[in-house]
Amino acid sequence: MTLLRIFASALSALVCLAGIWSCNGDKKGGSDIPDGITIAEKYITEGVSFATSGGEVTIPVQSKNDVSATASATWLSVSKGTTSPALSVTPFTLAAGENRETSDRSCTVTFTDGKNSKSVSVTQEAAAGLTVKTASVDVPAEGGEISIGLSANVRYSISIGVSWITSVSTRASMADYTEKFTVSPNAAPASRSGVITFTIEGKSETVTVKQAAGSSSGGIDKTAAEIAAAMYPGWNLGNTMEGGSNSNSWKNIGISSETSWQSTKTTQQIISMVKEAGFRSVRIPCAWVMGHITDAEACTIDGEWMERVKEVVGYCITEGLYVVLNQHWDGGWMEHDGFTVNADVETKKAQLVKIWTQIAEEFRDYDEHLIFAGLNEPGVGGKYTDGGSLVSVTQMSERLAVYEQAFIDAVRATGGNNAGRTLIVQGPNTNIDNFCDNDYMSKLSDSAADRLMVEVHFYDPWQFTGMESDADWGKVYYYWGKGNKGSDSSRICPDGYAETYVSSQMKKMRTNFADKGYPVLVGEFGANQRFADGKDSAHDASIKAYYKAVTKCAIDNGCVPVAWDTNYTSYPSMTIFSRASLKVFNANMLDGIMEGVSESYWMK
């Protein structure tokens, strides 16, 4: 409706009420104009209301005499229009700008003709208001309940930036409120902080919650073998902290890489779910050079990234889990480039020392629940740029001894709990046969006694676990294990690579390492579930049987099995948990692992 139509409507109502113009349009004459000031009744009884954004309202005023108007507040302007001589009606326009105050405001407009006066009340809604009364809150390590006072005049929303703070109550109308939150205990020996954001209509205020470091719940006295016996089964936070692109190597892109390979940011609730499912350790594959270096020459790790890694480690420590923190593929700067024929070994070694010195210093005060793994899969995989051809497996093991010794020495040199922390070194290609045939452990020395573990990975046979499509040398296997025979015989894994093969491979690691005082981490194992659960019962049974066999055979031989988990909730995948929904995604895998645990024994 236009302003002209609004004025015409109000004017018609006014003159009808005044009796000078009948509602059927008959003119009475100017002598019938009443004495005093006449304003439509609705303005007298209801007043005028403006929204927060402001606006204009025109009020027709009738009087035989000249009328003026004044407002009691400067935020409201009143302008006088041209008087109609025949009707003695004068339009007055009331205009209000945006109300940026957090309280409603009101005033009075008084109309007078020198002898008589009438008033109209005017109100305007407040702008959305939000005031948080405390900028930050300090919380002891044991956690507890905190209260945050605030004032607001409309309903507000709350956003919590970390998973270890949870809201106890929410409500909202400018009135004072107190919101309560629960802060989980912090078992990690490092302080942490999180942000709570209160928002009203796009306006936000934040509160920083700072929690003190926890006191170390344990010492550093256990041997590697004693720790390994308490770590099984293990779970990998896969495709997460190691995510990114090797094109960003020796650069810094921030912490967004955590969700570059999968979509869920890690939370305390995810780690709690893993613990409740029966896992006793978490391996955190981690990138450092690939996207998290602020100074390439000094190998300086981005401080924000370091804090995020510490936060994720803290989630695990708080749950009482053992944590393996490594340097993963990391763009291939070491995993590939460090093992090429033309590699500058001394430069690579110096870079490795700089990186691990920083990591070790940041985590020096953590107890024996934190374990460092120097590399991931040395010599595995190609690189997208020309890094030269890889050396032989024998030469690789010789070079591994140089790099792993540098890793051990760098960590030990930082002192504190790192002087006795359990460390993990990897075999060539992290392959069982390559490691057993090219053992380099005799070349390593350690100032701490009985504090080394060795690591291999297990995805055998590849035709069942990971092969994506048929090749000229073989076909993809859908069925594995005793009695699991599908309808297509060409898709059945030969018995020679079934349970007995798994057992024999794990026995090799026991004979060559565990029995010699080096407990074994099977840092990754898994097999792709190729079809949705229930589509092929023989395939479902095969997946369960594989996870059970690897778990049981590993534990029986002094090896800690650590299942790989990609967080891809589609098929094929090696996903055990849906992190977004906090639910089990693949019961075949989880049930197989837990049955393997229940039927196993530790190196009897």
- The set of catalytic residues is 377, 524
Q: What is the amino acid identity at position 118?
A: K
- Strands 452-458, 423-426: pairing is parallel
Interaxial angle between packed helices 537-556 and 587-598, expressed in degrees from 0 to 180 and rounded to the nearest 10: 30
- The 3-state DSSP class for residue 471 equals strand
Handedness of CA 141, 147, 149, 155 (dihedral sign): positive
State the Cα–Cα distance between residues 173 and 157, nearest whole angstrom: 12
DSSP codes joined into one string, 312-347? HHHHHHHTT-EEEEE---GGGTTTTGGGBTT--HHH
Residue 535 token pair:
């589509």
Phi/psi-derived region of residue 429, left when phi > 0, alpha when psi is between -120 and 50, beta in every other case: left
Cα dihedral value 304, 308, 313, 314, nearest 10: 100
Q: State which H helix or E strand residue 301 sits in.
A: strand 300-301
Distances (CA, A) of 45 to 19, 39, 93, 280, 480: 20, 11, 18, 73, 85
Q: State which H helix or E strand residue 523 sits in.
A: strand 520-525
State the Cα–Cα distance between residues 81 and 10, nearest whole angstrom: 14
Cβ pair 81, 28 in contact under 8 A: no
Cβ pair 312, 237 in contact under 8 A: yes
Q: What is the amino acid identity at position 472?
A: D
Contacts of 350 (CB under 8 A, 6+ apart): none
- Strands 55-63, 37-39: pairing is antiparallel
Cβ pair 565, 233 in contact under 8 A: no
Residue for token pair 């390593």: 444
Residue 47 token pair:
């007043």
Of the candidates 469, 499, 326, the one whose C-alpha atom is nearest the C-alpha of residue 407 is: 326
Cβ pair 486, 478 in contact under 8 A: yes
Residue 175 token pair:
């009135």
Instruction: Give Cα 377 to chain centroid, integer Å.
Output: 27
